[in-house]
Amino acid sequence: MAPSIKVGDTIPHGEFGYIPWAPELEDNLACGVPSKISTDDWKGKKVVLFSVPGAFTPTCHTNHLPPYLEKHAEFKAKGVDVVAVIAANDLFVMSGWARFEGCKDKILALSDANAKWSASLDLALDLTDRGMGVRTNRYAMIIDDLVVKYVEVEPAPGVTVSGADAVLAKL
């Protein structure tokens, strides 16, 4: 199914749970302070949002998030204010994954609980048959002042159109 959101559309309102980076999170026994971020917080900002089916899952963990972290300076040099990853995992899992990957304050790890926001854009992925329930699909967006400038969904397993290199090329 193709996403219902297209280039030129304004993104719908969404709220995501997350745990903001803080130095206390260097202690693996710290859990952080749960918070929320809204798409409204992206007004006037250039945002790169990429979505993965799950934290710590093989492709997401080794091939999707790491290049975004490695190329963070390149995104900033192209005027990106926010780089964020979303998944249907809860905010504590997203925070743990971001800490494990070394994201600190470079990449926001946002929880799209039950893939609610992604589903509203026809970007959810039903992995119930694999024991994973409904997840966020693997996709990427460039959002500038809440308007979609790029949106692509992976056509097959793997990372191509939603990867860091593909998104950098469209900035």
- Any residues with CB less than 8 A from the CB of 15 and at least 6 apart, and which? 36, 37, 38, 39, 117
Residue 68 Cα to chain centre, angstroms: 10
Which residue of the set 25, 49, 60, 84 is catalytic?
60
Q: How many residues can be counted in the chain?
A: 171
The H-assigned helical ranges of 36-170 are 58-59, 65-70, 72-77, 91-101, 116-120, 164-170
d(CA 34, CA 27): 16
Q: What angle do CA 87, 91, 92 make, to 5 degrees?
A: 125
d(CA 32, CA 54): 20
- Examine the residue annotation and report whether 31 is marked as an active-site residue of this protein: no
CA distances from 5 to 11, 47, 135, 166 (A): 7, 16, 18, 19
Q: Which residues are catalytic?
A: 60
